């Protein structure tokens, strides 16, 4: 074969199958579980893994990649020239400066801390920007180094116990904001440092709402690490709910909302397990909490609210691979009332997943275009969106292929 001819990445089915098996076993999944997720029989999957079946087409490869949460297409193909990040977005230009701020501990007291009220105001402005800016990672990434530095300084200089607890609460909130920035970027160890330091600062603060938010984020870090970590995600969620439950009768809206968000996270993880009854039961419990909140209430970190429950229903249905149900839930959900741009875009992505599952790829691409208009960086860093776009770039339908290719260029997956 001439050296300038692109090799067939699936030409060696045994090699491909072995890679599928290795990734499956690393994820702690049985053959039956993976087969169920990708819509084939365990017998067929065994033949793929053993190299007895012709290598699958791109659509099936992408479904396998999604089910296994493969970070890079080359992990499945074995070809380094097929380097395509799937569930990890590109490293943001501000990632290095945020990482340096997280990793830096100034032991000397020469950094003068800002007044507490000043740091509170800056954090409030940062969260507002995170929810309103289309390029929210750029905005937050620019603010985080200073916020982390000043939060750490405020803790170091706190003399009284009450002041130290208040400073720890602000530092925990800063780490919560940092986790949103670091998520889906190519530095998983940094994500864990941020999540764990946020939980530590939250516990030091002794503030119930701060602890709930840190637990919500730590549980997500566990769940997104794969099936072997689902139990750990549930343990964090359940422990946080047990901590909050006695406080709820007299709690603020923020505390009740974080309890509702934690309740939904239990349903989300159950849906990942394909445990239909448990998933919808937790969704319904979360909905009961939401209904007790004011109609216009919106949690500043998790977006938990009455309005978000429709979007959460779409997510549950999609994770359960119930295409028709996800489309029905999407028809009920009113995304216009979701105030946060990135959360609105995330809901559109979940809708697109539902349309894809339901055999409506053209609607899925159109929905991702809407998501991109709302918050381009959300689409660029979302593995599900990237998977759908890359899959439809190879569509046999020319209009769909052109539309998907243009979106791939806009997102940064393909060169113009």
Phi/psi at 85 (5° precision)? -65, 135
Q: Which of 26-30, 71-75, 334-338, 410-414 has the highest mean pLDDT?
A: 410-414
| pLDDT of 27 above 50 | yes
Segment 161-178 shows an average pLDDT of 96
What 3-state class would DSSP assign to 43?
helix
**pLDDT level of residue 143 (50, 70, 90 thresholds):** very high
pLDDT the model gives residue 10 = 43
Q: Which of 71-75, 128-132, 185-189, 254-258 has the lowest mean pLDDT?
A: 71-75
> Higher-confidence residue: 39 or 334?
39
Segment 42-56 shows an average pLDDT of 81
* Measured distance CA(282)–CA(300) in Å, rounded: 22
Cross-strand bridge partners of residue 72: 85
pLDDT the model gives residue 185 = 83
| pLDDT of 168 above 50 | yes
* Measured distance CA(42)–CA(48) in Å, rounded: 10
| pLDDT of 80 above 60 | no
Q: By the 8 A CB rule, do 73 and 86 touch?
A: yes
Segment 208-218 shows an average pLDDT of 97
| pLDDT of 12 above 60 | no
Segment 77-105 shows an average pLDDT of 74
* Residues of each domain in the chain carrying CATH 1.10.260.40: 13-82
Segment 340-354 shows an average pLDDT of 92
* Measured distance CA(102)–CA(327) in Å, rounded: 41
| pLDDT of 268 above 90 | yes
* Measured distance CA(142)–CA(79) in Å, rounded: 36
| pLDDT of 69 above 80 | no
Q: By the 8 A CB rule, do 343 and 47 touch?
A: no
Q: Mean pLDDT score of the chain, rounded to an integer? A: 87
Q: Distance between the two ends of the chain, CA-based, in angstroms?
A: 29
* Measured distance CA(315)–CA(335) in Å, rounded: 13
| pLDDT of 386 above 80 | yes
CA distances from 21 to 14, 75, 301 (A): 10, 12, 38
Q: Which of 83-97, 315-329, 393-407 has the lowest mean pLDDT?
A: 83-97
| pLDDT of 108 above 80 | no
| pLDDT of 24 above 80 | yes
| pLDDT of 14 above 60 | no
pLDDT digits (tens, 9 = 90+) for 287-318: 999 999 999 999 999 999 999 999 999 999 99
> Higher-confidence residue: 225 or 132?
132
Burial of 296 per CB tally in 10 Å (0-12, 13-18, 19+): exposed
| pLDDT of 377 above 50 | yes
Taking residue 272's Cβ as centre, other Cβ atoms within 10 Å add up to 19
Among residues of the chain, what percentage have pLDDT more than 90?
A: 57
pLDDT the model gives residue 3 = 35
pLDDT the model gives residue 112 = 81
Taking residue 37's Cβ as centre, other Cβ atoms within 10 Å add up to 18
| pLDDT of 162 above 90 | yes
Q: Which of 5-14, 33-42, 363-372, 386-395 has the lowest mean pLDDT?
A: 5-14
pLDDT the model gives residue 49 = 84
Closest of 258, 252, 262 to residue 283, by C-alpha: 262
Q: With helix as H, strand as E and coil as C, how does 105-166 read? A: CCCCCCCCCCCHHHHHHHHHHHHHHHHHCCCHHHHHHHHHHHHHHHHHHHHHHCCCHHHHHH
Q: By the 8 A CB rule, do 141 and 94 touch?
A: yes
pLDDT the model gives residue 331 = 85
What 3-state class would DSSP assign to 85?
strand
Residue 88, by phi and psi: left (phi above 0), alpha (psi -120 to 50) or beta? beta
pLDDT the model gives residue 2 = 37
Q: Which of 66-75, 217-226, 331-340, 357-366 has the lowest mean pLDDT?
A: 66-75
Segment 364-384 shows an average pLDDT of 92
**pLDDT level of residue 199 (50, 70, 90 thresholds):** very high
Alpha-helix runs per DSSP H in 224-252? 230-244
**pLDDT level of residue 247 (50, 70, 90 thresholds):** very high
- Kindly compute the dihedral angle of the four CA atoms of residues 50, 85, 176, 189, in this order, to the nearest 10 degrees: 60
For the segment(s) 13-82, the CATH number from 3.40.50.10860, 1.20.20.10, 1.10.260.40, 3.40.50.10420 is: 1.10.260.40
CA distances from 130 to 170, 198, 334, 370 (A): 17, 18, 21, 19
Q: By the 8 A CB rule, do 307 and 334 touch?
A: yes
């Amino acid at each position: 074969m001439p050296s300038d001819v692109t090799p067939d990445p699936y030409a060696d089915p045994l090699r491909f199958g072995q890679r599928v098996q290795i990734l499956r076993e690393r994820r702690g999944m049985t053959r039956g579980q993976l087969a169920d997720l990708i819509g084939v029989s365990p017998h067929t999957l065994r033949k793929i893994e053993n190299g007895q079946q012709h290598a699958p087409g791109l659509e099936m490869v992408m479904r396998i990649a999604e089910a296994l949460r493969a970070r890079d297409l080359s992990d499945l193909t074995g070809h380094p020239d097929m380097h395509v990040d799937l569930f990890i977005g590109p490293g943001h230009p501000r990632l290095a400066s945020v990482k340096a701020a997280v990793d830096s501990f100034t032991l000397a007291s020469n950094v003068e801390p800002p007044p507490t009220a000043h740091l509170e105001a800056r954090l409030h402005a940062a969260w507002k920007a995170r929810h309103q800016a289309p390029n929210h990672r750029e905005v937050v990434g620019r603010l985080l180094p200073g916020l982390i530095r000043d939060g750490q300084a405020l803790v170091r200089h706190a003399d009284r116990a009450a002041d130290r607890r208040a400073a720890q609460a602000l530092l925990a909130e800063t780490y919560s904001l940092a986790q949103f920035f670091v998520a889906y970027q190519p530095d998983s160890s940094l994500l864990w440092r941020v999540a764990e330091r946020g939980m530590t600062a939250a516990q030091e603060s002794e503030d119930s709402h701060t602890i709930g938010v840190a637990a919500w984020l730590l549980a997500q870090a566990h769940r997104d690490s794969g099936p072997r970590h689902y139990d750990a995600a549930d343990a964090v969620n359940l422990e946080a709910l047990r901590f909050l439950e006695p406080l709820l009768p007299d709690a603020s809206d923020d505390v009740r909302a974080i309890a509702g968000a934690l309740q939904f996270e239990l349903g989300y993880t159950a849906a990942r397990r394909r445990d239909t009854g448990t998933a919808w039961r937790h969704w319904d419990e979360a909905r009961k909490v939401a209904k007790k909140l004011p109609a216009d209430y919106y949690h500043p970190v998790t977006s938990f609210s009455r309005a978000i429950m429709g979007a959460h229903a779409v997510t549950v249905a999609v994770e359960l691979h119930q295409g028709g149900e996800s489309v029905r839930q999407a028809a009920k959900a009113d995304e216009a009332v979701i105030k946060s741009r990135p959360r609105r875009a995330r809901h559109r992505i979940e809708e697109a997943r539902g349309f894809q599952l339901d055999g409506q790829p053209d609607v899925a691409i159109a929905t991702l275009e809407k998501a991109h208009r709302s918050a381009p960086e959300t689409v660029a860093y979302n593995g599900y969106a990237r998977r759908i776009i890359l899959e439809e770039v190879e569509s046999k339908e020319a209009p769909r292929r052109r539309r998907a290719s243009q979106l791939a260029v806009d997102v940064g997956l393909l060169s113009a």
